[in-house]
Amino acid sequence: MSRATQPVARVAVPGTVAILFTGGTISMKYDAAAGGAVPALSADEILEAARGIRDIAPLAPEQWGRYPGPHMTVEKQWALRGRIAELLADPAITGVVVTHGTDSLEETAYLVARSVASEKPVVFTGAMRSASDLGWDGPANLVDAVTIAAAPAARGSGVTVTFNGRIFAALDEAKTHTHLLDAFESPGLGPLGVVDEGQVLFRRAVLSAALPLMPPVPATPVDLITAYAGADARLLDASRETGARGVVLAAMGRGNVPPEMVPGIERAIAAGLPVVITSRAQRGRVGMTYGYPGGGRRLAEMGCWFAGPRRPTQARVDLMLALGAGVALGEVFER
């Protein structure tokens, strides 16, 4: 992180909502030279556009960075997680809001949800349209996020994500559309609640989470490989040969892979790499239903781990955290 983007400590009065501005589309404007939207707006400029936001609660904004979503790395995510934890430990801070690029928001929010324990709310948000677009949604999303972070009803809700007036649990949300304003969903579960004319209304309980994983740093690299019709072992072998600490497989259906991938899985396990099975499907658990070559039953017998209902990106975060913390994988995954 550059010196210019390092967090600056601020004095907060009781009930303050901290806002970490990390970049993303909410900070972008069209740039003719670049031929598209690029980070341009400061924290103060975004706040100025969010009419009435300072009436909700005292604010402590920080210009943490100006990164597009795809520019976030594990190192940046972990540094951001550390700053969030610092703010949550401040007795004057009632909640933390994070603006973030939507392309990697679900991964960062999940990482924070799995590695930070606090009764205080942490709310991620951003924008699907830039400040140059008609209907820039950033200011409204930011107002909603601060409203949630300041609401007594949100205490104990953990890490959430808000877009388009809806509230999602970071443990189960996903970006499910490339550009629409309602791009975020919790597949198969729906939102936790809504923000309606300044009221925070929760409609369902937050699903209980496993104990948080708090390593000194996450283990990297952990690779994510997708199974597809005709896939073979080349990517698995490349991952093993180039120093991966573990592999997550986005398998087909219930947790099955083409038989041509099996030798690569066997070589990875023989080399000591954990292989975690997830599914390309957005809903449902992986399991040992099928016994044919490459089926879930055979993968379990080989020594693969199963991630239950977790999506591939979530399982990757959990594997990085578990390996970094030295936690037995049986405490995190299934066999």
The set of catalytic residues is: 25
CATH code of residue 226 = 3.40.50.40
Confidence of residue 1 (pLDDT cuts 50, 70, 90): very low
198: how many CB neighbours lie within 10 A of its CB?
12
Angle between helices 234-241 and 262-270 (to 10 degrees): 20
DSSP code per residue over 264-328: HHHHHHHTT--EEEEESSSSS---S---STTSHHHHHHHT-EE-TT--HHHHHHHHHHHHHHT--
Residues, the chain: 335
- Tens digits of per-residue pLDDT, 269-308? 999 999 999 999 999 999 999 999 999 999 999 999 999 9
Asked if residue 215 is part of any domain, the answer here is no
CATH code of residue 165 = 3.40.50.1170
pLDDT at residue 160 tops 50: yes
The verdict on 173 and 245 lying in the same domain is no
- Tens digits of per-residue pLDDT, 177-236? 999 999 999 999 999 999 999 999 999 987 776 789 999 999 999 999 999 999 999 999
The verdict on 126 and 178 lying in the same domain is yes
Instruction: Taking residues 10-33, report their average pLDDT.
Output: 92
The verdict on 127 and 266 lying in the same domain is no
Residue 50 per-residue DSSP state: S
Residue linked to tokens 């939207």: 37
The verdict on 281 and 177 lying in the same domain is no
Q: Of 150, 170, 202, which residue sits at a domain end?
A: 202
Asked if residue 212 is part of any domain, the answer here is no
The verdict on 187 and 226 lying in the same domain is no
Confidence of residue 165 (pLDDT cuts 50, 70, 90): very high
Asked if residue 193 is part of any domain, the answer here is yes
Phi–psi pair at 122, nearest 5 degrees = -120, 125
Token reading at 59: 């604010």
Which residue range forms the structural domain that includes residue 301?
222-331
- Tens digits of per-residue pLDDT, 50-84? 999 999 999 999 999 999 999 999 999 999 999 99
The verdict on 59 and 165 lying in the same domain is yes
Asked if residue 304 is part of any domain, the answer here is yes
Helix (H) or strand (E) holding 20: strand 16-23
The verdict on 80 and 140 lying in the same domain is yes
User: pTM of the predicted model, to two decimals?
Assistant: 0.94
The verdict on 81 and 170 lying in the same domain is yes
Question: Measured in whole angstroms, how far is the alpha carbon of residue 230 from the centre of its chain?
Answer: 30
The verdict on 179 and 272 lying in the same domain is no
The verdict on 14 and 109 lying in the same domain is yes
pLDDT for the residue 125: 98
- How many structural domains comprise the chain? 2
Asked if residue 237 is part of any domain, the answer here is yes
Across-strand partners of 163?
A: 166
pLDDT at residue 259 tops 90: yes
**Any long-range contacts for 324-333 (C-beta under 8 Å, 24+ apart)?**
324/213, 324/215, 324/216, 324/217, 324/218, 324/219, 325/213, 325/214, 325/215, 326/215, 327/213, 329/274, 329/305, 332/210, 332/213, 333/276, 333/305, 333/306, 333/307, 333/308
- Tens digits of per-residue pLDDT, 82-92? 999 999 999 99
The verdict on 32 and 104 lying in the same domain is yes
Opening angle at CA 196, ends 193 and 27, nearest 5: 85
Asked if residue 274 is part of any domain, the answer here is yes
The verdict on 128 and 261 lying in the same domain is no
Asked if residue 214 is part of any domain, the answer here is no
